Amino acid sequence: MDESNNTQLQDLTWWEYSYLSMLNQTLMATYHNRQIVKYSTVFGKKPGDAMELLRRMNKSTAVKIIARMNHLARTKVVSTVDEVLNMWFGNSNVRFRTIVRRHIFAGYSSLGVPGSQLTIISMWSNLKILDLLLSEPENDYPETSGDETERDFFMVYLAINEIFGDGSNAIVETVGPDKENLGYWYAKCMMVTLIRYQDFANVSPREVLAAQIIRAYYCLKFLEQNGHQQLVELFLQQYGVSNWQEYFRLILPICSGPLTKGDGSGLYYFLLQDNPDYERRSQFIRRLALSGTEGYPVIPDFLHVRSRPLYETEPNRFLVCDTILTINRVHSSMFFELKDIAASNQHLHSRYDNFFSFYTSEFIEKYLSYTLLSEIFADSGYYQLSGEEIKNRFKINQEPDYYIRNNNKVFLFEIKGSILPGEIKQSFDYQVIEDELKKKFYQKPGNKKNIGILQLVDRIEILLNESKKIPFDDLADQRKLEIYPILLTTERALNTPGMNHIFNEWFQEALNERSGLSGRLYQIKPLSILDMDTLINFSDMFKGKKVFLEESLRAYHQFIKVKMPVKGVAQSLDKAKENMNQAMISYADFLISNYKPDLPELFTHIGKQVSEDKNPRQADPLA
């Protein structure tokens, strides 16, 4: 029986090896192509300080432009060079537009890059410019003419593209050559390229909103049920509300408005009306728009963008800078604000001196994960135990975080609430990112304690050790088990294409080093990364069809297998690249591409509680 789930290079025929060698050259060329349009290629010199030019622009005007650019980057309604230039420049700038177009195509033609492979608008550049703008104090510079603004902002944009492009071109050098494992090499390049904006791009606002509301709901419920009512009250007070229903009632229209009422321009505004509720709504919205950046235990990338998703363009008129950024404020920023409040009120609870550790271990890794998984599989008839149950009932210390068995199928969960620092994701350096990933999801560097991936390997050894029964499941037939290892995480950046492939390389290597697993690898399926938001959004599908988890994992593992060409059957290198890209996809993206979940039932339930609460200030909290 096949001992491995992956195609290994040493098992390839000469035909396949030659084919991969050609593919290797093609992929290397792909990563050296300068596909994003840069300032130096268009204007023939390195750009100056983009920030200086930005500072001379009217800040409100610049933020509006970026809000529009965010919309275009997400919808891709404008993508080619000509489409972008025609959208960007008005009739008065036709001459400048013509010159720029000629320089773009001439400059990249000399580099061997066809115009069809060029792109101007980048989500990363949008976020970088917006972060720079929001980090600066307000200015009262008069608005320049439309023509001048178009030209100036275009040059700023290409200057920021230069940073992205130069960093991207250096990625291959940080990865280094790997002639022995092309898939691993390609995964590294892809991951480092895309991780810089993965948690902002290629996500559905509708699904992010549902997950954020549900996580925030469970967060407040956890705190109130476990003696942290005062912390909740302090959090709500800063928004001028008295309970969670009122908080959701005010934040939901802000998050959902751009989804339901937008005019297609990407510019969506909120107006504060002068009515009896003005003071309360003003306090709430200004808190969202003006939150500080202090207190972050792990500094994220695009810090100012994350903390200030609304911008007051004129008195009482607020622009939604980006829909996803605003939605992320519901729960993601709630955590950082709670942490800041806890640090200032350590006398309220002994764990508040390290709220980050308390929150991730007690809420994320236990309460939230246990609640979701137990509710999903409550009526499945499966044998399931949380890590806490295993520890308390069976008195062992090598427990998995969550254990589910359906006959001989075992779903083994390791849960991690770790966050990747922004400077790591933005490093453009594979080795820097790998070191951080291994520190958070593989092994602690100091005491060499196994975590994440290696914990899964440790648990698998226990499950397959036939010298003694599984201490918490003595009815399991160890010779017949099929084990599906799952890393459940809150870090959406782990959905970056290539990441699951990299983690599987480490996982397979660790399995091969365990002598106790010799001859048993056929019982172990590839590692799958599942993020919390995807678990929430697909919770009804997992619950409604009890074999959906197994069936979707099987389909995913089949989908990501590197497919070798059949000898004698011609296959283009474009098709080979498509196959390689397919092997890099995350489990979350596979689910989203192949299954269309409805909004989770719990999201609808929360909405009803909010809408039916006629007297929010007197409502029972989390009834």
pLDDT tens column, 454-472: 999 999 999 999 999 999 9
pLDDT, position 294 = 46
Report which listed range, 128-137, 139-148, 456-465, is most confident: 456-465
Mean pLDDT is lowest, of 100-114, 124-138, 331-345, 563-577, for 563-577
* Residue whose tokens read 């007197």: 618
Q: What is the DSSP letter of 179?
A: T
For residue 432, pLDDT over 70 is answered with yes
More confident site: 159 or 201? 159
CB-based burial of residue 208 (10 Å sphere; 0-12 exposed, 13-18 middle, 19+ buried)? buried
**SS3 state at 414:** strand
pTM for the whole structure: 0.89
Q: What would the two tokens of residue 589 be? A: 């993206």
The mean per-residue pLDDT over the stretch 588-613 comes to 88
The length of the chain, given as a count of residues = 623
More confident site: 569 or 198? 198
DSSP track, 207-232? HHHHHHHHHHHHHHHHHHHTT-HHHH
Q: Which of 102, 94, 211, 206 is nearest to 147 (CA)?
A: 94
Task: Evaluate whether 152 touches 389 at the Cβ level (below 8 Å).
Answer: no
pLDDT, position 616 = 43
Q: Which residues contact 392 (CB under 8 A, 6 or more apart)?
A: none
Mean pLDDT of the chain: 86
For residue 615, pLDDT over 60 is answered with no
The mean per-residue pLDDT over the stretch 603-607 comes to 88
**SS3 state at 311:** strand
Confidence of residue 565 (pLDDT cuts 50, 70, 90): low
What is the Cα–Cα distance from 293 to 157, expressed in whole angstroms?
25
Confidence of residue 611 (pLDDT cuts 50, 70, 90): confident
For residue 291, pLDDT over 60 is answered with no
